[in-house]
C-alpha cells in the first residue's frame, strides 16, 4: 500500500477560507490528502507540520557527525543526528511526498530549507562515489518509484514556468534540484497565485488549483496501483 508523507511549511496555522489569515498551501495539502484517503482509506500517512515545528538548523556538530562513518561515530554524534535520522526514515518510507510551501521572498520558508538540510545525508539519501570524479554522487532514493507533489501559494502572479516573474521564483526549482539529487525525480507542481490581488483572480486560481489537485490524486493512485495477476477464467 502506498505511504504518504505530508509536510506543511507555511507559518500560517489555519486553512484559507476557514480561518482568518489562513494558509492557501495548507488548504491544498489538506485537499490532496483528504481526496486520497477518501478513495483509499487503507493507505498510511505521516504528517509533519514543519511550519509550526521547524526542524533544527544544521551546525558544526551536525556536519562533523554526518560526515563521520557510522561505525566511527561517538555517542554524542549519534545524538546529534537523531532528529535527522527520523526525518530521513520518514522520507525513505514514503511513496508520495506532499509538500505545502508558500513562496516567501522568492524562495522556500526557512523551516523547509532546514528540513532539506536534514534529509540530504551522505550514506543515507546520497552516496559519494570517489572512484568517479565526473559523476561522484549516487542518489539512494532512486531504488523505487517515488513521487513528490509540491503545492505552493504565491502573493503575486506570473511566477509559474513561462511567466513574467518566473526568473524570480526559486522555490520549486530549488526543491526539484534537491529532491532530484537524492533520487526523487517524479515531481508534480500545482500553485495558487494572486493572494495579494485577491478578488476574482484569486478565486479563479484557487478553484483551478483544487481541481488540479483532484485530478493529480486520481492520476497518482492509478499509477501506484500494485500489479495484479489476472485470475484464471
Positions at the binding site: 10, 23-25
Q: Which residues are annotated as a binding site for FMN?
A: 10, 23-25
Query: How far apart, in Å, are the Cα atoms of 8 and each of 38, 51, 67, 90, 223?
Result: 20, 6, 29, 15, 24
Q: Cα–chain-centroid distance for residue 118?
A: 13
Residue 11: phi and psi, rounded to 5, are -75, -15
C-alpha cell at 190: 500545482
Residue 148: phi and psi, rounded to 5, are -115, 130
β strands within the chain, DSSP E = 3-8, 44-49, 96-102, 126-128, 137-139, 147-153, 186-192
Amino acid at each position: 500500500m502506498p505511504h504518504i508523507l505530508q509536510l506543511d511549511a507555511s507559518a500560517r496555522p489555519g486553512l484559507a477560507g476557514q480561518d482568518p489569515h489562513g494558509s492557501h498551501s495548507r488548504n491544498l495539502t489538506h485537499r490532496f490528502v483528504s481526496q486520497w484517503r477518501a478513495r483509499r482509506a487503507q493507505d498510511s500517512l505521516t504528517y509533519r507540520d514543519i511550519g509550526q515545528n521547524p526542524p533544527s538548523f544544521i551546525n558544526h556538530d551536525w556536519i562533523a557527525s554526518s560526515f563521520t562513518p557510522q561505525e566511527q561515530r561517538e555517542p554524542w554524534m549519534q545524538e546529534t543526528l537523531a532528529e535527522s535520522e527520523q526525518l530521513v526514515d520518514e522520507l525513505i518510507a514514503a511513496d508520495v511526498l506532499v509538500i505545502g510551501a508558500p513562496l516567501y521572498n522568492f524562495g522556500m520558508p526557512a523551516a523547509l530549507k532546514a528540513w532539506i538540510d536534514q534529509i540530504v545525508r551522505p550514506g543515507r539519501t546520497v552516496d559519494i562515489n570517489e572512484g568517479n570524479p565526473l559523476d561522484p554522487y549516487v542518489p539512494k532514493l532512486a531504488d523505487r518509484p517515488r513521487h513528490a507533489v509540491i503545492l505552493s501559494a504565491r502573493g503575486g502572479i506570473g511566477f509559474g514556468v513561462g511567466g513574467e516573474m518566473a526568473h524570480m521564483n526559486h522555490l520549486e526549482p530549488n526543491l526539484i534540484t534537491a529532491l532530484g539529487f537524492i533520487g526523487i525525480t517524479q515531481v508534480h507542481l500545482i500553485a495558487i497565485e494572486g493572494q495579494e490581488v485577491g478578488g476574482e483572480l484569486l478565486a479563479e486560481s484557487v478553484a483551478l488549483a483544487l481541481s488540479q489537485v483532484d485530478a493529480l490524486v486520481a492520476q497518482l493512485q492509478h499509477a501506484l496501483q500494485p500489479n495484479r495477476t489476472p485470475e484464471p477464467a
